Amino acid sequence: DAGITQSPRYKITETGRQVTLMCHQTWSHSYMFWYRQDLGHGLRLIYYSAAADITDKGEVPDGYVVSRSKTENFPLTLESATRSQTSVYFCASSAVARTEAFFGQGTRLTVV
Amino acid sequence: SQQGEEDPQALSIQEGENATMNCSYKTSINNLQWYRQNSGRGLVHLILIRSNEREKHSGRLRVTLDTSKKSSSLLITASRAADTASYFCATDKLTGGGNKLTFGTGTQLKVEL
């Protein structure tokens, strides 16, 4: 199916475990983003990527790692999950800089 | 810190009424966008207004931008129950921001029958 998909949709993990959230888009968009959404904070940018092998930090990158070896995939890894990383995570992509972004359905992550 | 702040945080209106929500931002921008988020879903792009534009329309949506006041407003006319959602403004900085879109905290709109 065309579009941007995130997996898993729901994840429960324990403190200290490593967890990877997947994001896949079929449009060959150059730009991809990871946001987290928390009550009272709106969406905050974690990392973004302008192209394969090019990534940069956003507003709240600590505790997260990204990679982008292929244009269509942009996984987000929590190296050692903490309770403060309990959140809803959204992946997004855009074809051109500073234009419309397309969002995935989100991954609800709970760290216990 | 958030670049955009929406006002009000929550808005409840009757079907058929107009809904107006505002967004203020801190630094000079290239574009401003509005997004909608239905409960439990991802964000959906509504409209983009460039910094050299003052007003833009799309169906029942009207967006204004005042760069001198660093503010924007989103007007939804003749609202429907299906418009119930959260609305976010997003900006990208004119300089030094790369392609980063920064979102506000959102306005929760409830349209009652």
Q: How far is B106 from chain A (nearest CA, A)?
A: 6
Asked if residue A31 belongs to a domain, the reply is yes
Asked if residue A86 belongs to a domain, the reply is yes
pLDDT in tens, B57-93: 999 999 999 999 999 999 999 999 999 999 999 998 7
Asked if residue A57 belongs to a domain, the reply is yes
pLDDT confidence tier of residue A1, bands split at 50, 70 and 90: low
Half-sphere exposure of A42 (CA within 13 A, CB side): 26
How many helices (H) and strands (E) would you count in chain A?
Answer: 0, 11
> Which residues 1-20 of chain B have a CB within 8 Å of chain A?
1-2
Q: Which of A10, A7, A41, A24 is nearest to A92 (CA)?
A: A24
DSSP string, B59-112: TTEEEEEETTTTEEEEEE-S--GGG-EEEEEEEEESSS-TT--EE---EEEEEE
Per-residue pLDDT at B6: 85
Asked if residue A112 belongs to a domain, the reply is no
Chain B CB contacts of A31 below 8 Å = 99
Per-residue pLDDT at B27: 87
**Contact: A100, B105; criterion CB under 8 Å:** no
Domain CATH number, residue A35:
2.60.40.10
Architecture of the B4-112 domain:
Sandwich (2.60)
Task: Look at chain B and count its residues.
Answer: 113
Domain count, chain A: 1
Position with higher pLDDT, A81 vs B3: A81
CB A85 within 8 A of CB A99: no
Q: How far is A20 from chain B (nearest CA, A)?
A: 19
Chain B CB contacts of A56 below 8 Å = 98
Give the 3-state secondary structure of residue A84.
helix
pLDDT in tens, A58-81: 999 999 999 999 999 999 999 999
Q: How far is B79 from chain A (nearest CA, A)?
A: 24
Please state, rounded to an integer, the average pLDDT across all residues of chain A.
Answer: 95
Chain B CB contacts of A103 below 8 Å = 35, 42-44
**Contact: B42, A105; criterion CB under 8 Å:** yes
Give the 3-state secondary structure of residue A21.
strand
For residue B46, the chain A residue with the least C-alpha distance is A100
* Cβ-nearest to B105 among A42, A58, A59: A42
Per-residue pLDDT at B7: 87
pLDDT confidence tier of residue B5, bands split at 50, 70 and 90: confident
Domain that holds residue A19: 4-74+81-103
**Contact: A35, B106; criterion CB under 8 Å:** no
Per-residue pLDDT at B95: 66
pLDDT confidence tier of residue B1, bands split at 50, 70 and 90: very low
**Contact: B43, A90; criterion CB under 8 Å:** yes
Task: Look at chain A and count its residues.
Answer: 112
pLDDT in tens, B18-52: 999 999 999 888 899 999 999 989 999 999 999 99
Cβ contacts of A7 within 8 Å, gap of 6 or more: A21, A22, A24, A107
Half-sphere exposure of B39 (CA within 13 A, CB side): 6
Per-residue pLDDT at A96: 84
**Contact: A50, B98; criterion CB under 8 Å:** yes
Asked if residue A110 belongs to a domain, the reply is no
